[in-house]
Structure 1
């Protein structure tokens, strides 16, 4: 079941008094415990009600009232969203929480409605279907996509090259012989045990996944990596570096969408589109 765990406001929180370093650290450690236990989905603190507003609905009228609001014990100063097995589990976790305020305080636990609660109203299931579609849409908007490159045994060479010429920053990297689970027999060609099983590297703000794969993965076709660079001199340098041992498909030149644009395939078979950003008004 999903519950919202609300930290009620206090006189100090409404006064805008910041927590002590010790309390901040204790709450951080509690949050870490929640995350490791796999029950915490979200959580944040809220600023005092003087920085908030309320909107009152009365028929077609909407009335906006600015804070602060007087009912301190009814206000919320922070919250978590937890996924727990029962209300009893949620209560047990709340009891482990440090006192979130310097004075006496209160935490309220409220379960979320679930679609099963509306079964008698939503007899044909149309509302449930609509809500499921909305959840899918929200989930996909939060999804992250990354390009995954398979270098057929040349991943280390490619990473070193991109580090040298493109300023690539390599993060996670591990090899097949470092896998916590044994690689299935016959999956790798001879000599691939020390090849890169998975790595992550960044060029500019683009994060790329890569691997040596399990042998000959075939050529890179049907896509390019687009690299936008602010400096004309740097664009030329990067383009020439990528063309070294590769093939220029379109030389760097002015286009209607960019002051400088070119296409090149590097020596590893990766297609690149190198360009300068266009002006905001579309004029070059």
Structure 2
């Protein structure tokens, strides 16, 4: 059996913009499917045709999936939780470059990317969608 774990993120109407931004930062292959792009018969709810039904970003070493949140009355916090997406990089320089791309696009550093007590470099950044990305060297 082959098991693979990927992150799935629901964002309130920002999924297309967020995945496009992450594609600019990390590269890879981006696919965005809106509800208007698929048959709507049999749906248990009436989605906005322009909402993202499913998005995937596949890049070397990982993937992220997501969609627009369909429950406007119960939004889930993106920031202020115990969750982050961990990106393991080959070098401190690569980590700094990726963090700079996120910060330059409207993000902010949560924890400076510096050498940690265990010897690797580690730090975190919040992107403009308030998703926390943690970076570590291998």
Give me the TM-score of the superposition, normalised by structure 1: 0.42
| d(CA) in 1 for partners of 2:54, 2:16 | 11
The answer to whether residue 11 in structure 2 is matched with residue 151 in structure 1 is yes
Could you tell me how far 1:162 is from its partner in structure 2? 1.3
- 2: CA distance between counterparts of 1:231 and 1:241? 16
Distance 2:130 2:108 in 1: 9
Mapped contact 2:16–2:55 kept (Cα < 8 A):
no
State the match for 2:130 in structure 1.
269
Larger fraction in strand: 2
Please list, as runs of the form range in 1=range in 2, the aligned pairs for 1:80-91 lying within 5 A after superposition.
none
Q: Which runs of 4+ in 1 moved over 4 A?
A: none
Q: Point out the structure with max Rg over C-alpha.
A: 1
Structure 1 pair 203/270, CA: closer, same or farther in 2 (3 Å)? farther
Secondary structure class of the residue paired with 2:95: helix
Does residue 218 (structure 1) correspond to residue 79 (structure 2)? The answer is no
TM-superposition CA deviations, 1:78-116 (whole Å, max 9, x none): xxxxxxxxxxxxxxxxxxxxxxxxxxxxxxxxxxxxxxx
Residue 231 of structure 1 is matched in structure 2 by: 91
**Offset of residue 258 of structure 1:** 4.2
- The number of equivalent residue pairs is 132
- The answer on 1:178 being equivalent to 2:34 is no
Greater relative CO, 1 or 2 (CA 8 Å, sep 6+): 2
Aligned-residue Cα RMSD (Å) equals 2.2
Deviations 1:197-239 (A, max 9, x none): 0122124311221111215433223311110111322211111
Partner of 2:50: 194
Tell me the TM-score normalized by structure 2.
0.80
Are 1:162 and 1:168, in contact at CA under 8 Å, matched by a contact in 2?
A: no
CA distance in 1, matches of 2:132, 2:89: 16
- Any conservation in 2 of the 1:231–1:276 contact (CA below 8 Å)? yes
- Verify the 8 A CA contact 1:228 1:275 in the aligned structure 2: yes
1:270 & 1:203 partners in 2: Cα distance?
A: 18
Report the structure, 1 or 2, having the larger helix content: 1
Aligned equivalents of 1:149, 1:168: Cα separation in 2: 18
1:160 matched to 2:16: no
Q: Distance in 2 between matches of 1:258 and 1:270?
A: 26
Give ranges in structure 2 of 5+ residues lacking alignment. none
